[in-house]
Each structure stands twice: as C-alpha cells, then as structure tokens.
Amino acid sequence: MANRPDHDPNHRFERLVWPCLQTLLRVARHMCRNDHEAEDLVQETMLKALRSMHQFDHGEDAKPWLLTIQRNLFIDRCRAAERRPPTVPLNESLDGPADDPSRADAGRFDAQWAHPEQLLERFGNPDMVAALKLLPVEIRWTLLLVDVEQLDHAQAAQVLGVPVGTIKSRAHRGRQMLRDRLFQLALQRGWVHPLSEGSP
C-alpha cells in the first residue's frame, strides 16, 4: 500500500499537528480561567491550523507555529470580551511602570532560599500552577514556553513576536517572581521563617 503523499494537508495535519494536542491543552489550561474555556481555545486552534496547513512551511516542528496561532486566538478572545489579560497590557514594556512592586523588587527573597531544591520539592503541581497564574500574562507565556514546554529562546521569541533578548530577560525576571510567590507561600505554611533584622 503506497504511503499518502506528505503534501496532502490532512496527512500533514495528522502527522505534525495532532501529536501537539496535549501541549496546546496544557498551555491553554495555564492561560484560561477554566477547563471548558481552555478546551474551546484548543479546538479553535486546531481548526484554524487545519484550515491553514497549506501555509505551514516550518519543517517538522509544528509546535511553535501552533502556539503562535493559539496565543493570537487567546489575545483576540480577550479583546473581543473587552477585557485584557491581568496585570500587563499586551503591548506594554515589562520594564515599566516603575511603581509596580511585582516588578521593582522581583527576587527579593532569593537570599533567603537556604535550601531551594528541598523547598521546591514540597510544592505540588497545584501550588506551582496557582503561583504561575499570578504572574503577568507575558511573563507567564514566557515561562510556559521556555520552562514547561522546553522551547528554545529563538522558538519562544517566534511565538511571542519579540526579540530573543526579551525572552531571556522575561524568563529571568519570571523565575525570580515565581520564586517570590512560592517563598511567600512557604512562609504562610511555616516551612521557612523570615530572616530577622541583622541576620546574615
């Protein structure tokens, strides 16, 4: 039996796009308010990808292309609903405004992470997801792409439409902010104690 030609859009969709379904679901669940909204976003992403397969010309890796489609649909939905993603407008520089405390002192607890690996092991997936959802939307996208989905910086830059240097900066800042959120949670649970004045 002859193989179906790879220029057949349906065949290429099945071979290149369908295996990325779980990635799209995972990212959507981190970005959307509930599972139903996430699943609807993924369905719309897959349908748009199917209709656009004749335009796909990115080799064998469809993941960055699909995530770009999904992110654009997510932005369109936010705008159509006359609401913006929380904390950071989509076109705002992450270097401002200066009076935003979540940015000005990111990493303020880093010196108090005496045993970070041991502490991180105590957090479950729901804790990590909840902390991630508190971050600004573009920081969240960056960490999802780079740290969760393991895209390289160039691929993440392609998805988000920004320079590679911006991805590196956002990833660094985002990891600091995520550590801050988790350290505050550890304080609430009594796993760690704040350093007293004058402590080294």
Q: What is the 3-state secondary structure (H, E, C) of the chain?
A: CCCCCCCCHHHHHHHHHHHHHHHHHHHHHHHCCCHHHHHHHHHHHHHHHHHCHHHCCCCCCCHHHHHHHHHHHHHHHHHHCCCCCCCCCCCCCCCCCCCCHHHHCCCCCHHHCCCHHHHHCCCCHHHHHHHHHCCCHHHHHHHHHHHHCCCCHHHHHHHHCCCHHHHHHHHHHHHHHHHHHHHHHHHHCCCCCCCCCCCC
Q: Kindly indicate the confidence band of residue 197, based on its pLDDT and cuts at 50, 70 and 90.
A: very low
Whether pLDDT at 182 is above 80: yes
Considering the chain, tell me which residue range(s) the CATH 1.10.1740.10 domain(s) occupy: 9-80
CA distance 178 to 143: 10
Instruction: Between 91 and 181, name the one with better pLDDT.
Output: 181
Share of the chain above pLDDT 90, in %: 46
Answer for the pair 22, 16: CB distance below 8 angstroms, yes or no.
Answer: no
Instruction: Between 92 and 38, name the one with better pLDDT.
Output: 38
Q: What kind of fold does domain 106-188 have according to CATH?
A: Arc Repressor Mutant, subunit A (1.10.10)
Q: Kindly indicate the confidence band of residue 43, based on its pLDDT and cuts at 50, 70 and 90.
A: very high
Over residues 52-102, the pLDDT tens digits come to: 998 888 677 899 999 999 999 999 988 887 655 554 444 343 333 333 434
pLDDT at 102: 46
pTM comes to 0.76
CA atoms within 13 A on the CB side of 109: 20
Considering the chain, tell me which residue range(s) the CATH 1.10.10.10 domain(s) occupy: 106-188
Whether pLDDT at 18 is above 80: yes
Mean pLDDT of 172-187: 90
Q: What kind of fold does domain 9-80 have according to CATH?
A: Rna Polymerase Sigma Factor; Chain: A (1.10.1740)
Instruction: Between 125 and 2, name the one with better pLDDT.
Output: 125
pLDDT at 5: 52
